[in-house]
Amino acid sequence: MALLETDHDHQHQSTKPKMHVAVLPNLGMGHIIPLFELAKRLVVFDHDIHISFLLINTDEDNSAARDQYLYSTALPPSLDVVDMPPINVSDIVRDDMLILTRICVIVEESLKSLKSVLIELGKPEALVIDLFCTGAFKICSELSIPVYSFYSPSTAFLTFSLYIPTLDREVEGEFVDLPEPISIPGCSPIRLDDLLDEVRDRKNNQYKLFYLHMSRLPQATGILVNTWEDFEPVPLKAIREHSFFLQLPTPPIYPVGPLIKQDESMSSSDEECLTWMDNQPVDSVLFIALGSGGTLTTGQLLEMAWGLEMSQQKFIWVLRKPDDADASSTFFNVGSDVNDPKSYLPEGFLEKTHGVGLVVKSWATQVAILRHPSTGGFLSHCGWNSTLESITHGVPIIAWPLYAEQKMNAAMLTEEIGVAVKPVKVPGETVVKREEISRVVKLLMESEEGEIIRGRVKKLRDSARRAVDIGGSSYNSLSCLIEKWKNESGEP
């Protein structure tokens, strides 16, 4: 096999760092971002660590957003992006495959080269993997490399994932047909309506794959979670103290978050957007963005447009072409869909909202917008990365979950943490109506209740900053992990 190309080989020839750790995400942006932020934090945190960030590649890679994110700024020394040998997707993927099946099939194919990649890298002292890369456990046991799982969703969802094998064993029919919510030991029950799509049909291949990967979690030497102690105290306590999780046994848990995207490169439309925001009052703009893969149906997009206009609130709306079949239709081509909002927005909408709102096509610099003082709310799909970004920047949320575990996140954010509001769909309706959209937007942006929620989220913002600062809970957790790696590799 040809020598793997890395971006910084020349920097490592004279002085080889003492400790080498490899990091392996799957190919979704929502998984690449937190793992890349972890990789950056590790090399900045401890200059004696060298990270190889392994990138799964396919012959149809067209994720403009991924490449822009990874390569737009200079990488820190001691962090190499290593391309795995590309795989031919057309041989293994069918058009009718659901999103998780597609990810898992591509990852499994890519892992066939993992052993030779790790040997060529000189056998790193540890490998940190994404939750759908558990095929690495077997490969690494042959090489005597300890494997750590990086769990990119919430800790609450981790408790559900660890509970799935028990649920699978104890429940005969479908989980959605159970008479009452699912009770996870030591945690809040999960409403059946909020269950993720992947577990709603146990005969489907998606369920089998989800079950397979989650059932392997106890094989990890440790589990890193993208959270912090004060944000999810209940599920963290359950995992550490409840007899159910202790008996699994659950590996040691390391809360190392919030790990969020720090900076993004700016396009000219981003610059225009931020210039417009500079002229708006503090906390006055609602930001609407549904994640790297999220899309609305045609009917829902029309209701959203008129609801925003009715609310008379200022907004920035990142808009994608509607898709009536798939709420995650842009997952695999983030940032590269081409569309003309005039062709699908209701007639007159852009004229009526001129000066009040700003429509941005496909993609916007989310971090810069959430960080901006004029942003006062975020209508979000409640993906975990977006949730952490919103809270870290002190912005309350209107929960609009679409797929994956987003409904469970939305329930937690609204009912337990109290940093979000959720629009209500009229029973029997397929869309949330414009009057309801207008109501929740006004509630968040200009009511007393909205102010209380905003106050709560700003307290959590401060707690997130303390967690990652020197001496904070996540800082200390990462310290312990690095110490463990060094001890295991026999370093002084």
Amino acid at 335: G
Q: Is 130 a catalytic residue?
A: yes
Q: Hunting for tokens 């503090």 — which residue is that?
A: 282
Q: Rounded to whole angstroms, what are the CA distances from 178 to 38, 200, 364?
A: 39, 11, 41
Count of beta carbons in the 10 Å neighbourhood of residue 255: 23
Alpha-carbon torsion (332, 191, 437, 457), positive or negative: negative
Catalytic hit among 20, 31, 372, 393: 31
Catalytic hit among 20, 46, 50, 130: 130
Q: Rounded to whole angstroms, what are the CA distances from 319 to 81, 294, 330, 340?
A: 31, 10, 12, 9
Q: Distance (Å, rounded) from C-alpha 389 to C-alpha 464?
A: 10
Count of beta carbons in the 10 Å neighbourhood of residue 74: 8
Q: Distance (Å, rounded) from C-alpha 176 to C-alpha 28?
A: 27
Distance of CA 333 to the CA centre of its chain: 16
Q: Rounded to whole angstroms, what are the CA distances from 359 to 284, 314, 337, 363, 370?
A: 16, 11, 15, 11, 16
Q: Hunting for tokens 């790297």 — which residue is that?
A: 292
Q: Which helix (H) or strand (E) holds 167?
A: helix 155-170
Residue 398: phi, psi to the nearest 5? -100, 115
Q: Rounded to whole angstroms, what are the CA distances from 187 to 170, 255, 383?
A: 18, 17, 20
Task: Please list, in sequence order, all residues whose beta carbon lies within 8 angstroms of the beta carbon of residue 359, skipping any fewer than 6 positions away.
Answer: 317, 319, 341, 345, 350
The residues assigned a catalytic role are 31, 130
